[in-house]
């Protein structure tokens, strides 16, 4: 048979498949209505297992795995459609609340605002805030939680916080506080971080016995710390470490901090760019007490707890695939006190108010034990 003849047959089969697929998806409305009336959950694991087992048994052995994958995906798309239908008139659904947070296209991200940062002047959070806002009015707080309290209470309009580093990983405390305070991410920034080893004028590198910095910076600069054999002192912030060294009268102490802190606190650079990896980036997020989605937002962050059963993570990833949503981050952490159970963090690429994102947000109940929607926003590179 000629290739053109084979392709003609394939096109004919594909047309039939498309028609049958659309008919199958149209039935989601009937299924959703029936389940709503019977107060049944959208996900029926026993029904799915029986269906897939039947398909595996009926398909030729050489195609059984592919057939199961195909029908599993079809069922995932159908379940998402059912959830979308069930939530379509619900003003309190997650997609409805997200849409209500959409700001008009004329409302750009503010160029000035009262912003909360952790640390003191010269901190990387302050440097990030000055990139995110043209002229920020900054209030400093000793701890990350202080920043959250300032934003939640209305003392500051926004907060700027580090959430992830390319070398040391996520800042877990910030994620935990995000979930606790239920604030929203409204923008993010990827900032290149170049750490300097700062000392008081006249201090020799070989005399350094103690290095002070934030725990993330210490993790990012472990090589030079090990080479010097120095003791480590953890501080709340890299800028606070520089300030502490500047106020000390010792000539054997150094801080891992920024170049701007050297100038700000009258310190010298004993060693430049001391981070382990040259491509050292930290992501900072802007948080707001009220959910706001600015024009052009296309990145969404979620924290989810999945059911402790086989295939629960697969079902989550399968839903992303079925909706054509690109996942740009997946990270897990164990849940304290719950053996072998994990919380997962996802960053996704999907335009705000797109049908795909709406469908996903409204179908999280179907695949998660619990979830927190951190917001949809734009990331500045």
Q: Give the residue numbers annotated as catalytic, written as ranges.
A: 282, 284
Q: Is 53 exposed, middle or buried (0-12, 13-18, 19+ CB in 10 A)?
A: exposed
**107: number of Cβ within 10 Å:** 11
**Given 3-state DSSP classes, what are the helix, strand and coil percentages for the chain, each rounded to the nearest 5?**
45, 25, 30
**H/E run at residue 86:** helix 64-87
Residues in CB range of 131: below 8 A, 6 or more apart:
189, 191, 380
DSSP state letter for 295: T
Q: If DSSP codes are grouped into helix, strand and coil, which group holds residue 271?
A: strand
Angle at 262 between CA 261 and CA 263, to 5 degrees: 90
Residue 98 burial (10 A CB sphere; 0-12, 13-18, 19+): buried
Q: Which of 206, 100, 148, 175 is nearest to 331 (CA)?
A: 175
Q: What would the two tokens of residue 175 be?
A: 């994620």
Secondary structure of residue 144 in the 3-state scheme: helix
Bridge partners of 241? Answer: none
Helix residue ranges per DSSP H, the chain:
3-38, 45-58, 64-87, 94-100, 124-132, 144-153, 172-181, 215-220, 222-228, 238-247, 259-265, 312-323, 355-362, 364-367
Which run of H or of E encompasses 76?
helix 64-87
The dihedral over CA atoms of 164, 169, 172, 177, expressed in degrees to the nearest 10, equals: 10
Q: Are 220 and 265 in contact (CB under 8 A)?
A: no
Closest alpha carbon to 96 in 357, 326, 278: 357
Please tell me the distance from the alpha carbon of residue 369 to that of residue 299, in angstroms, as a whole number: 23
Cβ neighbours of residue 9 under 8 Å, at least 6 residues apart?
A: none
């Amino acid at each position: 048979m000629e290739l053109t003849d084979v392709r003609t047959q394939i096109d004919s089969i594909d047309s039939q498949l498309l028609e049958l697929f659309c008919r199958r998806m149209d039935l989601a409305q009937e299924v959703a209505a029936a389940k709503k009336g019977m107060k049944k959950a959208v996900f029926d694991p026993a029904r799915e297992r029986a269906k897939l087992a039947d398909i595996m048994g009926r398909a030729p052995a050489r195609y059984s795995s592919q057939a199961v994958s195909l029908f599993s995906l079809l069922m995932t798309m159908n379940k998402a459609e059912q959830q979308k239908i069930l939530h379509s008139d619900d003003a309190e659904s997650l997609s409805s609340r997200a849409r209500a947070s959409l700001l008009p296209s004329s409302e750009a991200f503010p160029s000035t605002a009262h912003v909360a940062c952790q640390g003191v002047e010269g901190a990387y959070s302050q440097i990030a805030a000055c990139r995110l806002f043209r002229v920020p009015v900054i209030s400093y707080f000793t701890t990350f939680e202080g920043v959250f309290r300032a934003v939640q209470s209305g003392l500051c309009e926004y907060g700027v916080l580090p959430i992830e580093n390319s070398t040391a990983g996520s800042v877990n405390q910030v994620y935990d506080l995000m979930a606790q305070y239920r604030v929203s991410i409204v923008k993010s920034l990827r900032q290149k971080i170049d750490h300097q080893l700062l000392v008081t004028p006249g201090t020799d590198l070989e005399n350094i016995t103690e290095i002070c910095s934030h725990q993330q910076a210490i993790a990012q600069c472990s090589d030079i710390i090990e080479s010097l054999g120095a003791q480590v002192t953890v501080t709340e912030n890299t800028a606070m470490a520089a300030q502490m060294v500047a106020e000390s009268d010792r000539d054997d102490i150094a801080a891992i901090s920024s170049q701007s802190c050297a100038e700000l606190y009258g310190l010298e650079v004993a060693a430049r760019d001391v981070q382990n990896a040259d491509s050292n980036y930290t992501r900072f997020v802007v948080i707001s007490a009220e959910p706001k989605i600015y024009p052009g937002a296309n990145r969404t962050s979620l924290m989810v707890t999945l059911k402790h059963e086989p295939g629960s993570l697969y079902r989550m990833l399968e839903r992303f695939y079925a909706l054509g949503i690109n996942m740009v981050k997946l990270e897990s952490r164990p849940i304290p006190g719950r053996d072998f159970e994990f919380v997962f963090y996802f960053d996704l690429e999907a335009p705000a108010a797109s049908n795909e994102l709406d469908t996903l947000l409204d179908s999280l109940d179907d695949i998660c034990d619990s979830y927190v929607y951190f917001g949809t926003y734009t990331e500045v590179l």
